[in-house]
Structure 1
Amino acid sequence: MKDSFEGSPAPEKPVSDGVSKKTGGKQKKFLANDQYFTICIYALIVVAISALIVRVVMTPHAVSSTVNDIVNILMPFLLGTLIAFILNPLIKWLIKLLSGPCRIKSQKVCKFTAIILAYLLVLGVIVICILYIVPQVVVSLTEIVANIPKLYEMTYDFFDNLQDRFPNADVSELQKIVDDILPDFVNTLKNFVSGLIPAVYNMSVSIAKGLVNFVIAIIVSVYMLTDKKDLKRSMKRILYCFVPVDYIPKTLEILSECNSIFTNFIVGKAIDSTIIGVLCFILMSIFSMPYALLISVIVGITNMIPYFGPFIGAVPGVIILLIIDPLTALGFAVLIFLLQQFDGLYLGPKILGDTVGLKPLWIIISITVGGSLAGVLGMFLSVPVVAVLRYLLNLYLEYRLEKRHITLQ
């Protein structure tokens, strides 16, 4: 019996399994199915994440080595991006200054002039540090090394005559402890301080070797700053290709807020730490404390690390001054305490505002994890990264609560 459809082509009819049949069932054609495609994508993502977790758990050292190799390869581009992030607010301010009070009408002239001025300002600060601050820091370290024997004798005499100063107190046990600990402590300090100068030299050699990477980073940052509009346009094209159109405005708003959190923290913390370092130098100079520049540089740099920075910066200064004069060390400790209170209660909130918004517990966790992964740089960058992740998590939680019609007070 012949098929009733034989001799006349039948129209294609899609079926549920994504396959269509043609005349007599002899030809089949695959039709794209968005539902099956989404399931496949989710399945691939789950498999990839599972494989990554297994890899990290089974061979953590190999994963860490691979990540370090990747970071080292991408370091010039990461550094260039960081430089662009730091200089972008300064360039915006210079553009407003040039187009406003300076009355330069051409936007291109304003932009290129602002970029050149920003790099010249940063270069000028670096040159000043190299010509004036670094030599004085090296001289201070050299003096400390040369004076360690004298400082040792002074400290030993202080504790040796402690009984004469306090005749009514029994300080024999304290003197015994000092006699046991002081030689090892001084030798350790001497080795540490002596190793700082070679460390500075080795660091200079490393910087010289990394000059090529630094030049690449500068080129990357210049490109990012000059072609910022093209980069934004490229980002929007990618978003419109992969993100549903209805979600694009909200996505752009979220990305802009993440950029604001990260940039404001880095720039604000740099300004805050510079002010604290300068104030420390001025106050130490007023009270005639020795090694004011060296200790102030340490305090300013370590203040870039949130929460732990003030304590890390105070310890070297207290140790150096404790060997010279315990009363001076006590005064320095009080000065740093008051300075950090001023920073935490007034200066920091005025400059940073609520940029981070992290509780101390999360700051401690982020600094600990960041420090273990990437050292001092990780301790600094971990806080704005965690702040951005916290912002994204809060948005997602608010979305889920709103979807379930739940309101929490």
Structure 2
Amino acid sequence: MNDSEKKNFLNKNLLITMLAAISFYFLLLNLSTVFYVIKRILNIISPLIIGAALAFVLKIPMNFLENKLFSKVKSQKFQKYKRPLALFLSILIVLFMLLFLIFLLAPQLIKSIQSLEQKFPIFFDQLLNWMRSIEPLKNYALELEAQLSQFSWNTIFENVNNFLLRQDSTFFTNAISTATSLISSLANMFVAFIFSIYILASKETLGHQARRMLYSLFSKKNGDTIIHILSLGHKFFYNTIVSQVTDATILGIMTFVTMNILRLPNAATISILTAFLALIPIFGAFIAGALGVMLILIESPTQALIYVIMVVILQQIEGNLIYPKVVGDAIGLPAMWTMLGVIVGGAVFGIIGMWLFVPLFAVIYTLLGEFTENKLNQKKLSIEK
């Protein structure tokens, strides 16, 4: 490269840097507008995002059926129907699991709420009597009793009735708004469902088209890098879903069996809640434990204490024995990075963010490790632990 070429190269890079800095400055000045535009775009393409996520979930049982189970059938005629049949059965499996959870959990929750309504006053009376028997807590018991004496269900029902009467004039407007929102949501879900079926039915064709487009836009080196990053993302997202669901299922079964052995109440409800909430990384188990204590505390404080001890023991077994075996190297992310991913993801996108950012951080962690290793190899250095 001669001096003229070097000068042109530097001028080009300087111009690009200046344009990038100016663009970034204007973005900072108009952050609210930028976020509004991003939000609008996400709202428009949300059915496609949901469809892609649904396809990712359906792909797990579909791959098992198509590649493991149906591969044993040697008939050539069957091969033509292998993909549609695997997709149809995968939809039925996921739908059945959702309906099973709803119909099993809903009656138990209704029963628990009814029991809570009946036994809550009795529990508070017992709590007040216990607080009165302890001298340091006696004054707090009197204050709590004074607060509870002002509590009236009649007042609450009267306020609800007044609210409904005030809303009577806007009933039809609210009804139309609700109906419109419901129809829009159903339409979005239908589009998402159809989009997910299209993705799964022609995933090889879509993958081939995406690779052709990618290599037409980028050099082979950059194209290979992008493919590698996307492959890591797919691997970690897939492993996260499979490992979390497997671990949550095992924890739910352990909770159900142990609660039945100890004859603790609401075993089915609490076990399903535990399995479901365990899908939330790190914090899910604590939320499930707190809800379980609340449901059992109404029945018996002693049994609630037994439940707390049981949860602590099960969490130790699950965290130290089962989780490493089930998950293993599925994600390969250190605990500090996992916690960071959960915190950042939860702050940005809530519970969904907790799921998304853990595999995302796993991709970043892996890429940083590969980059560091390549640089050390170029320098012919070896850093021992």
Q: TM-score range by the shorter chain?
A: 0.7 to 0.9
1:378 is displaced (CA, Å) by 1.4
Which residue of 1 is the match for residue 104 of structure 2? Answer: 132
Alignment RMSD, CA only?
Answer: 3.5
Aligned residue number for residue 63 of structure 2: 92
Distance 1:326 1:136, change over 3 A: closer
Q: Is the 8 Å Cα contact of residues 272 and 348 (structure 1) preserved in structure 2?
A: yes
Distance 1:292 1:402, change over 3 A: same
Q: Deviations over 1:67-110 (max 9, x none)?
A: 43333322221221112222223211101344333434343311
In the TM superposition, what whole-angstrom CA distance separates every residue of 1:144-185 from its partner, at most 9, and x where no partner exists? 13332122223223333xx4xxxxxxx311343455458879
Per the TM alignment, residue 259 of structure 1 is displaced from its structure 2 partner at its CA by 0.9
Answer yes or no: is the 8 Å Cα contact 1:289–1:328 preserved in 2. yes
Contact 2:119/2:298, CA 8 A, preserved across alignment: no
Between the aligned partners of 1:59 and 1:368, the Cα distance in structure 2 is: 27
Residues 207-262 of structure 1 deviation map (CA, whole Å, 9 limit, x = unaligned):
77622222222111111111111111122112311332255556534432321111
Q: Paired residue for 1:23?
A: none
Alignment of 1:367-378 (within 5 A): 367-378=342-353
Query: How many residues are matched?
Result: 357
- Structure 1 position 101 matched with structure 2 position 72: yes
**Which of 1 and 2 has higher RCO (CA within 8 Å, sep 6+)?**
2
What does residue 299 of structure 2 align with? 324
Match in the other structure for 1:172: 135
**Where in structure 1 are there 5+ consecutive unaligned residues?**
1-14, 18-32, 164-170, 195-203
Tell me the distance in 2 between the aligned counterparts of 1:226 and 1:53: 45
The superposition leaves residues 105-161 of structure 1 with CA deviations (integer Å, 9 ceiling, x where unpaired) of 34331111111111111111122223332232233223313332122223223333x
Relative distance call for 1:72 and 1:250 in structure 2 (3 A) is closer
* CA–CA separation in structure 2 for the residues paired with 1:107 and 1:185: 69
Q: TM-score, normalised by structure 1?
A: 0.75
What one-letter code is carried by the residue in structure 2 that aligns with 1:119?
I
Q: 1:72–1:255: structure 2 CA closer, same or farther, 3 Å change rule?
A: same
Aligned to 1:365: 340
2:94 match: 122
Q: What residue identity is the alignment partner of 1:355?
A: A
Q: Which residue of 1 aligns with 2:175?
A: none
Instruction: Tell me the secondary structure at the aligned position of residue 324 of structure 1.
Output: coil
Instruction: Report what 2:187 is aligned to.
Output: 212
d(CA) in 1 for partners of 2:38, 2:379: 39
Distance 1:102 1:47 in 2: 60
Counterpart position of 2:282:
307
What is the alpha-carbon distance in structure 2 between the residues aligned to residue 187 and residue 302 of structure 1?
A: 36
In the TM superposition, what are the counterparts of 1:233-382 in structure 2 within 5 Å?
A: 233-246=208-221, 248-249=223-224, 251-382=226-357
3-state SS, counterpart of residue 231 of structure 2: helix
Which range moved further: 249-258 or 278-287?
Answer: 249-258
Contact 2:256-2:271 within 8 A present in 1 as well: yes
Residue 198 of structure 1 corresponds to none
Measure, in 1, the Cα distance between the counterparts of 2:145 and 2:38. Answer: 43
Largest Rg, 1 or 2: 1
| Distance (whole Å) between structure 1 residues aligned to residue 183 and residue 198 of structure 2 | 23
Q: Within 2, Cα distance between the matches of 1:74 and 1:186?
A: 53
SS of residue paired to 1:100: helix
Contact between 1:86 and 1:267, CA under 8 Å: does it hold in 2? no
Segments of structure 2 that go 5 or more residues without pairing to the other structure are 158-177
TM-score between the two structures when normalised by the length of structure 2:
0.79
Q: Out of 220-229 and 377-386, give the one that drifted further.
A: 377-386
Task: Give me the whole-angstrom Cα distance separating, in 2, the residues matched to 1:213 and 1:153.
Answer: 50
**Judging changes above 3 Å, is the alpha-carbon distance between structure 1 residues 265 and 216 closer, same or farther for their aligned structure 2 residues?**
same
Kindly indicate which of the two structures has a greater share of residues assigned to helix.
2
On the 8 A contact 1:155/1:323 being kept in 2, the answer is no
Q: 2:84 aligns with which of 77, 93, 112?
A: 112
Name the CA distance, whole Å, in 2 between partners of 1:183 and 1:61: 48
With 332-341 and 350-359 compared, the bigger mean Cα shift is at: 350-359
Per the alignment, in what secondary structure is the counterpart of residue 103 of structure 1? coil
Offset of residue 395 of structure 1 = 2.3
The amino acid across from 2:58 in the alignment is: L
C-alpha distance in 1 between matches for 2:40 and 2:350: 16
Is the Cα contact below 8 Å between 1:94 and 1:114 reproduced in 2? yes
